[in-house]
Homo-oligomer: A and B are copies of this chain.
Amino acid sequence: MPPCALTVDSLNPKVLALADHLGDAIARRAQIICCSLSNPQSMGQQPNKFFREVLALCDYPHLLEQSETSSLFSSDAIARAREILDLFPGRATGAYSHSQGTEGLRDVIAAGIASRDNFPCNAQDIFLTDGAAPPVHMMMHLLIRDQKDGILCPIPSHSLYKSSMVLQGATLVPYYLDESSVWGVNISDLKKQLDGARSMGIVVRGLVVINPGNPTGHVLVEENQREIVEFCRNEDLVLLADEVYQENIYTYEKEFHSFKKIARSMGYGEGDISLVSFHSVSNGYYGECGRRGGYMEVTGFNSEVKKQVYKVASLSSCSNISGQILMSLVMNPPKVGDESYISYQAERDSILSSFARSAEAMVCAFNRLERVTCSKAEGAMFVFPSVHLPKKAIAAAEDSNTEPDVFYALRLLENTGIVVVPGSVFGQVHGTWHFRCTILPQDEKIQLIISRFMAFHEAFMEEFRD
């Protein structure tokens, strides 16, 4: 055999620098209770009926001509499928679309955004994508020239942004969310981090904000959002707003406000701030993760820059048409008077209220544990408790060459079968230890999880108490 050309040492070092997907490997072990993945339909949640009716009819339009169809499908799903098919030249849902996505679907989505925000939205600003990851990679590709370019990124944050920056060779400029103010953004800290990076010669191009938060499950207060907008505007930063959990808010105290709405309500228009909003069909309560639908709304980019965004978007021809259709349904769900309206609302309320109950039960339980504190769960699909690990546990972790939070999570897994994601995957303030736990398990499972968790934690503390 000749020496094989391909050794791991000869690969792109930026790829090698990517972290392994530890979580994935754990989650695939048998006999586990998965509290690590934001993947509702893998946990038994049923897909939304209206969405799937429309998708099926658009896949096989022949059904629309059959008499049996009216008894098999709801009337508004049939009407919607006809409307959608008419948006495709020749009704061809198997053709490549425009690289930004099918024009008529972008019109629908733009109308949905406008009605959500009460500010206009231009369909030309919408890029339909295969979920939220590709547009994040696109923006990084566009903004990052070399390792002297940096992006402000929240800590903790889910791995997409970090991975994308590693792959582009960008410098991640961290800013720490303030756990004491329900994971709010401290603007003076942000300014300090920005100035620090600049003093080291980093050209900071943008700021990532995740709202509602992942892994933190918080919802930013409006005042904080205004401060962030002002900051980006003053510092000439592109605001990269991850708003994929916008439909998952389960506190009556807060509601979702897009950063574009905030900026516009402050009187800032196209020329004042560059803003990208990411959304997807994966992260709403309906959890159509595998369908890979998403969009980014790109505003405050001049036409020359926009042309460059388009070039990058067209590298993969277009995003998948089913995902495009689904994204349009998410942004334009059944309305009062439609046959599906009542059942659609019932499905949504049932899921969101289950999330709310799980979240409340978990937060309450975690706060009763020794040396554990847990912020309110307001949105997204997670709680992110902090565990003040005893010195003896930290020493034991060091002995086994593991991060203390990983040590805790592995012990939890071994003893209970419960999988959570250790905080070090997301980043955390030095010397603090967290884990991310999804609130997806349904009522019957939650009590089991909580009681097993409590028993484990007590025993763990017993073993390692200082």
Complex Cα–Cα for A99 and B62 (A): 33
A13 CA to B337 CA, complexed, in Å:
52
Q: Which of A8-35 contact B (CB under 8 A)?
A: 8, 10-16, 18, 20-21, 24
Residues of B within 8 A of A6 (CB): 238, 274, 300-302, 305
Establish whether residues B3 and A290, one from each chain, have CB atoms under 8 Å apart when the complex forms. no
With the chains together, A354 CA to B234 CA distance in Å?
Answer: 61
Q: Is the CB of A305 within 8 A of B8?
A: yes
A431 close to B (CB within 8 Å) = no
In the complex, whether A252 has a CB less than 8 A from a CB of chain B is: no
A322 contacts which of B42, B72, B320 (Cβ < 8 Å)? B320
1/0 per residue A304-324: CB within 8 Å of B? 110110011011111111110
Residue numbers in B under 8 Å from A237 (CB-CB):
5
Please indicate the chain B residues that have their CB under 8 angstroms from the CB of A317 in the complex. Answer: 131, 133, 282, 289, 292
Nearest 5 Cβ contacts at the A-B interface: A5-B236, A56-B60, A42-B95, A292-B320, A290-B321
Residues A290-305 near B (CB distance < 8 A): 290-292, 300-302, 304-305
State whether A7 touches B305 (Cβ < 8 A): yes
Q: Report if A42-B11 is in contact (Cβ < 8 Å); known contacts: A290-B321, A316-B133.
A: no
Cα A323 to Cα B319 with chains together (Å): 11
A143, B11: Cβ atoms under 8 Å?
Answer: yes
Partner of A316, one of B14, B24, B131: B131
A15 surroundings in chain B (CB, below 8 A): 141-142, 308, 311-312
Additional pairs, 18, CB under 8 Å, beyond known A2-B236, A7-B302, A15-B311: A6-B274, A7-B305, A8-B304, A10-B205, A15-B142, A20-B311, A39-B96, A42-B95, A56-B60, A68-B72, A95-B287, A96-B282, A130-B292, A130-B316, A130-B319, A290-B318, A290-B321, A291-B320
Known contacts being A97-B290, A315-B133, is A145 close to B18, with CB within 8 Å? Answer: no
Chain B residues whose CB sits within 8 angstroms of the CB of A7 once the complex forms = 302, 304-305
Q: Shortest distance in angstroms between A112's beta carbon and chain B's nearest beta carbon?
A: 20
Whether A63 contacts B56 in the complex (CB less than 8 A), given A21-B311, A291-B322, comes out as yes
- Residues of B with C-beta under 8 A to A1: 271-272
Q: Verify if A400 is at the interface (C-beta below 8 Å from B).
A: no
- Chain B residues contacting A95 (CB-CB under 8 Å) are 39-42, 287, 289-290
Known contacts A42-B89, A90-B44, A233-B2; is-contact A12 B205 (Cβ 8 Å): no
Residue A163 interfacial (CB < 8 Å): yes
Beta-carbon contact of A2 and B167 below 8 Å: no
The answer to whether B308 touches A8, judged by C-beta atoms less than 8 angstroms apart, is yes
Minimum distance in angstroms from A10 CB to a CB of chain B: 8
Interface assignment of A389: CB less than 8 Å from any CB of chain B: no
Check if B141 sits within 8 Å of A5, measured CB to CB. no
How distant is the Cα of A96 from the Cα of B298 in the complex, in angstroms? 26
Q: Contact partner of A60 among B52, B130, B133, B167, CB < 8 A?
A: B52
Interface presence of A336 (CB below 8 A): no
Most B-side CB within 10 Å, residue of A1, A95, A99, A274:
A95
B41 near A90 with CB under 8 A, answer yes
- The residues of B that contact A137 with a CB separation of less than 8 Å are 315-316
**A49, CB-defined interface residue at 8 Å:** yes
Question: How close is A165's CB to chain B, nearest CB, in angstroms?
Answer: 12
Which residues does chain B contribute within 8 Å of A455, judged by CB atoms? none
B4 touching A315, Cβ below 8 Å: no
Name the CB-closest residue of B to A60.
Answer: B56
Closest B residue to A290 using CB positions: B321
Does residue A225 face the partner (Cβ distance < 8 Å to B)? Answer: no
Query: A289 CA to B300 CA in the complex, in Å?
Result: 32
